[in-house]
């Protein structure tokens, strides 16, 4: 038996929530003192309204090691954990500490636990979880599932275009960004992740539609084995925009599968209203 634990920045489609092999460990959000758990009770529209009114901006806190320890409980002999990039959140370190504490408290237990640093976020975590499941269902041994998934993470890329970078800026997530463009010029940076899991700027374009097109073109140019890969698109309250991106991609490349998911709490916090994220 196996279990895949994903922190709540990784959005799960409904079929995975019902799958039985997946479990989410929730981060918490805070807007002007109002605390919100990033779980099935998360109300995206109410959250975006609060963020829009906030002067200081929203913040998030990662799950505790104890929360992860609870997620490791159960009959599963293989437990795989997928967290936010260790460069962006303390979730990875918390999951690792939880693993160490769990193993100390359960000496001799026949359970193997491995924590993946996604070096990504949002649906980047989701497609890593899907890859773990693919390898497990193929009957691969634990060590090989880990090795192949780490290899997959090394091959992944994450991209995003946001209406505003204010939340990322306020939370100190743009330290690696070369240039911040004034919103008054309607210039939208095309963003991505480095191999280490930091945020970087890939390019820019005037207006959201041109920026999304540039993001798609960049992704197509960097993805060599489209037919073998699942591409995931997450959107923050803009399903039509995500559908348009999917339609554009389908004209340019033949992916194994393309999934679209609305962002949950943490991704909504960083993407803001209208943001689009891709991972492949």
- For 112, 158, 180, 258, the CA distances from 211, given in Å and listed in that order, are 43, 15, 15, 20
pLDDT band at 175 (very low <50, low <70, confident <90, very high): low
Between residues 8 and 56, the one the model is more confident about: 8
pLDDT at 112: 98
pLDDT at 194 exceeding the cut of 70: yes
Kindly report the backbone phi and psi dihedral angles of residue 87, in degrees, each rounded to the nearest multiple of 5, phi listed first: -85, -10
Rounded to two decimals, the pTM is 0.93
Instruction: Give percent of the chain with pLDDT exceeding 70.
Output: 94
Between residues 121 and 195, the one the model is more confident about: 121
Give the angle 15-276-266 at the CA atoms, nearest 5°. 65
Between residues 40 and 171, the one the model is more confident about: 40
Can you tell me the distance from the alpha carbon of 128 to that of 116, in angstroms, rounded to the nearest whole number?
9
**What are 38-93's pLDDT values in tens digits?**
999 999 999 999 999 998 889 999 999 999 999 999 999 999 999 999 999 999 99
Can you tell me the distance from the alpha carbon of 121 to that of 127, in angstroms, rounded to the nearest whole number?
10
pLDDT at 179: 44
pLDDT at 56: 86
pLDDT at 164: 78
pLDDT at 12 exceeding the cut of 90: yes
pLDDT band at 180 (very low <50, low <70, confident <90, very high): low
pLDDT at 183: 53
Residue 29's contacts (CB-CB under 8 Å, 6 or more residues apart) are 35, 36, 37, 38, 47, 58, 59, 60, 265, 266, 269
Residue 221's contacts (CB-CB under 8 Å, 6 or more residues apart) are none
pLDDT at 199: 87
- The dihedral built from the CA positions of residue 274, 209, 277 and 186, taken in this order, carries a sign that is negative
Half-sphere exposure of 230 (CA within 13 A, CB side): 16
From 51-65, 134-148, 171-185, 247-261, the region with the lowest mean pLDDT: 171-185
The mean pLDDT of the chain is: 93
């Amino acid at each position: 038996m196996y279990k895949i634990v994903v922190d709540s920045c990784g959005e799960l489609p409904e079929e995975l929530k019902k799958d039985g092999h997946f479990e989410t460990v929730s981060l918490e959000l805070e807007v002007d003192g109002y605390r919100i758990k990033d779980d099935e009770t998360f109300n995206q529209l109410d959250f975006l309204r609060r963020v829009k009114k906030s002067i200081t901006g929203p913040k998030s806190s990662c799950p505790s090691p104890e929360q992860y320890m609870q997620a490791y409980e159960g009959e599963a002999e293989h437990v795989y954990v997928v967290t936010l990039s260790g460069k962006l959140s303390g979730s990875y370190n918390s999951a690792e500490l939880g693993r160490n504490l769990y193993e100390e408290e359960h000496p001799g237990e026949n359970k193997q636990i491995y924590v993946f640093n996604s070096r990504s976020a949002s649906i980047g975590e989701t497609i890593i979880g899907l890859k773990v499941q693919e390898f497990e269902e193929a009957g691969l041994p634990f060590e090989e599932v880990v090795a192949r998934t780490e290899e997959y993470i090394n091959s992944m890329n994450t991209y995003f275009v946001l209406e505003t970078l204010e939340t990322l800026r306020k939370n100190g997530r743009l330290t690696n960004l070369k240039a911040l463009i004034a919103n008054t010029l309607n210039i939208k940076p095309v963003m991505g992740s480095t191999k280490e899991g930091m945020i970087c700027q890939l390019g820019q374009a005037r207006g959201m539609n041109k920026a999304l097109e540039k993001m798609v073109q960049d992704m197509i140019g960097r993805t060599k084995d489209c037919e073998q890969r699942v591409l995931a698109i997450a959107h923050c309250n803009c399903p039509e925009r995500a559908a348009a991106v999917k339609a554009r991609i389908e004209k340019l490349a033949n992916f194994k599968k393309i999934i679209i998911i609305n962002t949950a709490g943490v991704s909504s916090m960083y993407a803001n209203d209208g943001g689009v994220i891709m991972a492949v």
